[in-house]
Chains A and B, each alone.
Chain A
């Protein structure tokens, strides 16, 4: 099973709202990733967690706050977003050693009004 699940599928939020995106995998992967994808563009890496510790932050604005509560779960907390943050937010996971396949979830389509 190579499934990564994400909730919600769609999210509409105002610029003053606080919301969270959730991601879950049960493949025993110890690396988890958040990507942002705009229309007709490739995924753009935001954060990487390795063994539940933040290992890469690609200079993402502080209005995006990641959290990895355990090895299966990854959250992205959103606060005071801008309309230009509207995008497809993708979660992915992989092994840390050995094979390097990264498996993506279906994404959360976020619209900021």
Chain B
């Protein structure tokens, strides 16, 4: 019940296209859902995050869509660029104190020029 399932494992998108990564969770106590971007040899960088009281959050080319009833959330990258090529992790946690992030398994995204 603590798991976050992420798909696909890898994704290839043409430059200018839309990249979509999906995550699903079981634990309804989760109330914070961040996405991290990680380049090889670097630490994960917080990209965007959402709480269950909103269905969508947009920051620049990055959008999180959240479906509370389906217990699913997704990351959309519009106008994907080669510089977006990285590994993306979704995560979930519960509020209250120092929280444990439960990560998905990651998606390796490649944007072809």
What residues of chain A have their CB less than 8 Å away from a CB belonging to chain B?
2, 4, 6, 30-31, 33, 40-43, 45, 48-50, 55-56, 88, 90, 94, 96, 100-107, 109
Contact = CB atoms under 8 A, between A and B. Distances in A.
A43 B44 contact: yes
Contacts of A100: 32, 49, 93, 95, 99
Given A41-B106, A101-B34, A50 B97 contact: yes
Contacts, number: 65
Interface of B: 32, 34, 36, 41-46, 49, 89, 93, 95, 97-101, 103-106, 108
Contact of B42 (A4, A96, A101, A106): A106
14 contacts: A31-B97, A41-B106, A43-B89, A43-B101, A43-B103, A45-B100, A48-B100, A94-B98, A101-B34, A102-B34, A104-B36, A105-B43, A106-B42, A106-B43
A42 B49 CA distance: 17
Contact of B103 (A6, A42, A56, A88): A42
B42 A42 contact: no
Contacts of A40: 106, 108
Contact of A31 (B45, B98, B103): B98
Contacts of B93: 100
Nearest to A48: B98
A102 B46 contact: yes
B42 to A, nearest CB: 6
A96 B97 CA distance: 5
- Per CB-CB distance, the 5 closest pairs between chain A and chain B, nearest first, are A31-B98, A42-B103, A104-B43, A50-B98, A106-B43
Contacts of B46: 2, 101-104
B87 to A, nearest CB: 8
A106 B49 CA distance: 20
Contacts of A109: 41
Contacts of A102: 34, 46, 99, 101
- Among B32, B89, B97, max chain A CB count under 10 A is at B97
